[in-house]
Structure formats: C-alpha cells, structure tokens
Amino acid sequence: MNKKTIITVRHTESEHHVNDFSGGVSFWNLTELGKEQAFKVGKWLLENEKMDDFRMLVSDLPRTVQTAEEICKSLPLKFEKTKQLREIDLGEGNGILRSEYARIVSPKPEVYDPNHRSFPHAENDTELLARMKGVFDLILASDEDNFILVSHGGALLFFHMAIMGKSLDDMENAYPIGKAGSISKIVINEDGTCTVEYLNKEVF
C-alpha cells in the first residue's frame, strides 16, 4: 500500500454556534467570522503544507461547503461534495432550539451504549463509526495518496477513530472534539501503521 496523507478540517464558526440552535444534519451557513476563519485556515495550509496534489472531499452541508470555498481561495484545489462526511444525523433533534433539544432528547444510559439513539430517528454511534470507516476505506482503495477532508466535529471524531484503528470500546477515552476550524494531519504508512503529525491544531 502507498503511504496516505490525510488532513482533516472542522468547519469554522456556523450560525448554529451562536444562535442557540442545534447542528447535526441542518442547513446553517457560516457566520461572517466563520468565513474569515476559514480563509485563515486556507492561508495556513498554503504556508505550512504542500497542498497542490490533494483530493478534497467535503460534507455537502452549507457550513462545510462554505468553509471549503474559503479555503480554496488560497489553495489550487477543487472539492467534491459527499453526504458521507455529514455530521451525525440527530433525527428529530436536527437544527432545533437547544432548549427544545434538551427537553425531548433521550437521556444517555449510565453505561455507554453505542446503539443508543438520542432521538427515535437519529443515527447512533455504531452507525456513525461504520459510515466513517466507509470514508476511510474509500481513501485506502483510491489510487490517490493525499486527501483533505472538510467535515464536522462529531463526524471527524469518529473518522479519526477509524483511522487510528480504535473501536467503540475506546469511546470513554476519546480525545475532545476540536474547536471550529481545527486541523489534523494523519499519515497512514506503507505498513498500515498510523502516524499522527498533529491533532485538532488551532491556526487562528
């Protein structure tokens, strides 16, 4: 197997970060600050990484697409939108007022259950990890070696777990979700081992 370099970016500040609504599969835009932050991410990548031969995959939700658009003002890249990189689907909890979310969400069990659903039609952790493993499998099977992914905090947490070979048994020891706009770089070596060069790096 060829060495694979994977850079991930969590989308920058979105309307739901400041308007007291939930995220999930919802169609919020970036704030003006979020657009400025995303542009800074692109500038940082231009100055610190060789990015001219990367394939860029982006969640198709507006806040991630807009993050990618700002990044690409600095980088010679085109991006592909995919539903596979969407945030966890919260079902009835997608894009609603946080006060309403807290009122109707199903409480987490005392003992972690990866099949627990926060709402009747929500995606659970088992399903999210399988979806993120699907993205990783696509990367491993590709003839291309360098990828940049623009996605969401929860989705990227599980994507990083998939890359690192972690299971849902490791959830209690999972690292914190990075801040909006944080960047990670992980290399999959020719022998299949994983090297984390940086994780949830803040660049603005």
Q: Is pLDDT at 175 greater than 80 in this prediction? A: no
Q: Which two tokens stand for residue 180?
A: 């909006």
pTM for the full predicted model: 0.96
Dist CA 115 CA 102 (whole Å): 20
Spatial neighbors of 199 by CB under 8 A, at least 6 apart, are 160, 175, 178, 184, 186
Q: Is pLDDT at 128 greater than 90 in this prediction? A: yes
What is the structure's pLDDT at 52?
Answer: 84
Using pLDDT thresholds of 50, 70 and 90, give the confidence band for residue 176.
Answer: confident
What is the structure's pLDDT at 156?
Answer: 97
What is the structure's pLDDT at 174?
Answer: 72
Percent of the chain surpassing pLDDT 70: 99
Mean pLDDT across the chain = 96
What is the structure's pLDDT at 161?
Answer: 94
Q: Closest Cα to residue 186, out of 203, 158, 163?
A: 163
Query: Mean pLDDT, to the nearest integer, of 98-113?
Result: 96
Query: Mean pLDDT, to the nearest integer, of 175-182?
Result: 88
Query: Mean pLDDT, to the nearest integer, of 127-148?
Result: 97
- Summarised one tens digit per residue, pLDDT across range 31-89 is 999 999 999 999 999 999 999 899 999 999 999 999 999 999 999 999 999 999 999 99
Query: Mean pLDDT, to the nearest integer, of 94-103?
Result: 98
Q: Is pLDDT at 177 greater than 90 in this prediction? A: no
Half-sphere exposure of 134 (CA within 13 A, CB side): 12
What is the structure's pLDDT at 24?
Answer: 98
Sheet holding 194-201, edge to edge: 79-82, 55-59, 146-151, 4-10, 183-188, 194-201
